[in-house]
Chains A and B, each alone.
Chain A
Amino acid sequence: MTGSRAETATAHTLSLRVDEWSGHLPGQHVDVRLTAPDGYQAVRSYSLAAPADDCVIEITVQRLPGGEVSAFLTDIAMIGDELEVRGPLGNWFVWDQDDPSPVLLVAGGSGVVPLMSMIRARDEADIQTPFHLIHSVRTPQDRIYGDELTRLAAQAGGPSVTWLYTRTAPPTETRPPGRLRQNDLDDGSSRTSGATPTCFICGPTGFVEEAANHLLAAGHHADRIRTERFGGR
């Protein structure tokens, strides 16, 4: 581990230098394995947060109350520690940058991590494919990558970004705080300029299933919806 920086009060981005890395696709993940002195092992998956910088990769971990691995990675692991990492993994929940279809990204909480990887890859490759991100967070302080997303969204040809607040919204926000609603997504689909978007939904299991149902109800075809469930509720 070569770096750790706080994104929010509960989410940390860890930089990991890996022995060999031949690159990865935006949306792929790694499995991190921890081994206790008594031999007990725990494996958890973490999405790659950005394109690799040589042999340095980044993951962003959200600490969960009572979480075995996430609390270790955010609070205890230190620069210089060795972690066992396997990857890149998973070729299904990935954005193909040669596909010109507009992209609708829907994230709940830390589900923004693999979607940010897609946004950063698009930016790095200077591709103009229309991207719209809808990120559901509890409060403005929970916006992972908030400053970077605000900056990218302000650029010509940048992605458009909407935050939905479930608990506390900033004073300028007109939408009352609350869970994801059908029309939150209707609005998002109309921004991807008419063409059928590819949809990527990621986050806690309950959020992903709700969002997928809303998109299906809004007329999106199941074949165009890709989901990744992080677990939990």
Chain B
Amino acid sequence: MSEHRDGNALAGPLADIFTAEATTAQVRCRACGLSTTLAQLVVYGPEPGLVGRCPGCTEYVIRVATTPSGTWLDLGGATSFHFTSTVDVPIR
């Protein structure tokens, strides 16, 4: 079994970029069309480069790399992101 994690591990790196919480977003895979919660992506790689793969077809959906100069974000494997207001649990 390989050493992957899941999209929960992307929360920190993506918090730098999105104002909305990213792990609850619905993301659609460009390769197979599967729509999934970002938290359920299969995430490989230690810092600084994380690759989130589709749980359906294993193609890459999103890549995030943090370098000293800043953060690189490659969303080329996704056709859409849907940030819903209802899925987010409010902070009490």
Contacts and interface: CB of A to CB of B under 8 A. Distances in A.
Nearest to B16: A86
Given A90-B8, A205-B1, A230-B5, 20 more contacts: A25-B91, A39-B68, A87-B12, A91-B24, A91-B87, A92-B23, A92-B24, A92-B38, A93-B23, A93-B39, A94-B89, A96-B89, A205-B3, A205-B5, A228-B6, A229-B6, A229-B9, A231-B3, A233-B1, A233-B3
Nearest to B43: A229
Nearest to A68: B46
Contact of B91 (A24, A90, A227, A229): A24
Which of A86, A90, A232: most chain B CB closer than 10 A?
A90
A43 B11 contact: no
Interface string B1-39: 111111111011001000001011000000000000111
A28 to B, nearest CB: 8
Contacts of A143: none
Contacts of A39: 68
Interface of A: 22-25, 29, 31, 39, 41-43, 45, 86-94, 96, 205-206, 209, 226-233
B91 A43 contact: no
25 contacts: A22-B91, A25-B89, A29-B8, A29-B11, A39-B68, A42-B47, A43-B12, A43-B47, A88-B91, A90-B8, A90-B11, A90-B21, A91-B11, A91-B23, A91-B24, A91-B89, A92-B39, A96-B89, A205-B5, A206-B1, A227-B40, A229-B5, A229-B6, A229-B9, A231-B3
B5 A231 contact: yes
A136 B92 CA distance: 31
